[in-house]
Amino acid sequence: MIQVREARADDWPAMWRLMQPVVAAAETFSWDPDLPEEQARERWFHEPPGRTFVAIDDDGEIVGTAESEPNHEGPGAHVATAGFMVDSHRQGRGAGRALCEHVLERARADGFRAIQFNAVAESNARAVALWKSLGFRVLTTVPEAFCHPTEGYVGLHIMYRRL
Amino acid sequence: MIQVREARADDWPAMWRLMQPVVAAAETFSWDPDLPEEQARERWFHEPPGRTFVAIDDDGEIVGTAESEPNHEGPGAHVATAGFMVDSHRQGRGAGRALCEHVLERARADGFRAIQFNAVAESNARAVALWKSLGFRVLTTVPEAFCHPTEGYVGLHIMYRRL
């Protein structure tokens, strides 16, 4: 059973252990694959109303993490965005789903009206299927906007769910 | 005749004079309307390959400004994004068009494959028409993603042009 809670500063080393390989692989995230750890930490932990979560398995291990924040500011601050990373060795065990359900619940409680994902690689079939099963739909696919290391140029889905 | 050139650090006071009312109006930009000047400056001037431009009129006055940078990093760094602000008292004189033509030209020269605008308020009919006349198309409209001060919730267009 996966538990999700707010991330604490002292969770970071375990979070980065699972995040760094995801970033370096550059198969799912549009981040610099060599992003320094300190910049990753600043990017993943937000000022309120942004939030950061960790998913914990039965052994008490951090197996995934998520962040959410307003997608824009001011007149656009009522739509949230979010990002998710799961330990590549622990995929398919429900961490991504548990994290996303938690993000949806908290975003709704925080008063956001919708969630928008800005860049879901269409080659990331597992994630696309998961988000769809959680009520997200593809608003559009930006053509060839993601250069996958083995599949070449693929589209980036912009996905959306009203809260 | 509008001339466009790279912005210099000492252009900032004139840039901010035209930008601040645009930001404060919150009618077109999804920024905090009270964004402090220093944060606006950091947001508008980029590290390379980002660029910042100013549009100069016949009197040598700065009447508009634009910025562009990669929309994402790493596997997504080949698509640029851009932002534009024109002095509200000098609209309709070609500054926006000249800035966008310049951004397109430089982005192409810099090797970008496309440009994506992430948040064009659909209520901003003048801008939407201008971008369309310059070859952009609306990929999707995120529903009610922009809260206009008088028109209420309107959509945010995501616009795109291949280079």
Q: Is A43 on the interface with B (CB under 8 A)?
A: no
Please state the separation of Cα A33 from the chain's center in Å. Answer: 16
Chain B residue nearest residue A137, CA to CA: B142
Q: pLDDT tens, position by position, for chain B (163 residues)?
A: 999 999 999 999 999 999 999 999 999 999 999 999 999 999 999 999 999 999 999 999 999 999 999 999 999 999 999 999 999 898 888 999 999 999 999 999 999 999 999 999 999 999 999 999 999 999 999 999 999 999 999 999 999 999 9
Cβ(A86)–Cβ(B159) under 8 Å? no
Hey, are the CB atoms on B148 and A75 less than 8 Å from each other? Answer: yes
The verdict on a CB contact (< 8 Å) between B147 and A116 is no
Stretch 139-158 of chain A: residues touching chain B, C-beta under 8 Å? 139-140, 142-149, 156, 158
Question: Which is nearest to B70 in space by CA: B81, B56, B84, B57?
Answer: B81
Q: How confident is the model at residue A141 (pLDDT cuts 50, 70, 90)?
A: very high
How many CA atoms lie within 13 Å of A121's alpha carbon, on the beta-carbon side? 23
- Classify burial at A47, counting beta carbons within 10 Å of its beta carbon; exposed 0-12, middle 13-18, buried 19 or more: exposed
Hey, are the CB atoms on B75 and A147 less than 8 Å from each other?
yes
Report the Cα B41 to chain-centroid distance in Å: 14
Cα dihedral B104, B105, B106, B107, rounded to 10, equals 40
Which whole number is the average pLDDT over A88-107? 94
3-state helix, strand, coil in chain A (%, to 5): 35, 35, 30
Average pLDDT (A156-161) is 98
Mean pLDDT of chain A: 97
CA torsion sign for A118, A122, A127, A132 is positive
- The answer to whether residue A55 scores a pLDDT higher than 90 is yes
Q: Which pair of tokens denotes residue A104?
A: 């949806």
Strands A137-148 vs B3-6: parallel, antiparallel or unpaired:
unpaired
User: Which letter, b or e, does each residue of A147-158 get, where b requires 16 or more Cβ atoms within 10 Å of its Cβ?
Assistant: bbeeeeebbbbb
Do A76 and B32 lie within an 8 Å CB cutoff? no
Taking the CA of residue A55 and the nearest CA in chain B, the distance in Å comes to: 26
Closest CA to A18 of A95, A106, A103: A95
The whole-angstrom separation of Cα A163 and Cα A111 is 9
Asked whether A116 and A20 are in contact (CB, 8 A), the reply is: no
Q: How much is the average pLDDT of A46-68?
A: 96
What phi and psi, each to the nearest 5 degrees, are found at residue B42?
Answer: -65, -35
Copy the structure tokens of residue A156: 């980036």
> What percent of chain A has a predicted confidence (pLDDT) above 70?
100
Alpha helix segments (H runs only) across A91-153: 95-109, 125-133
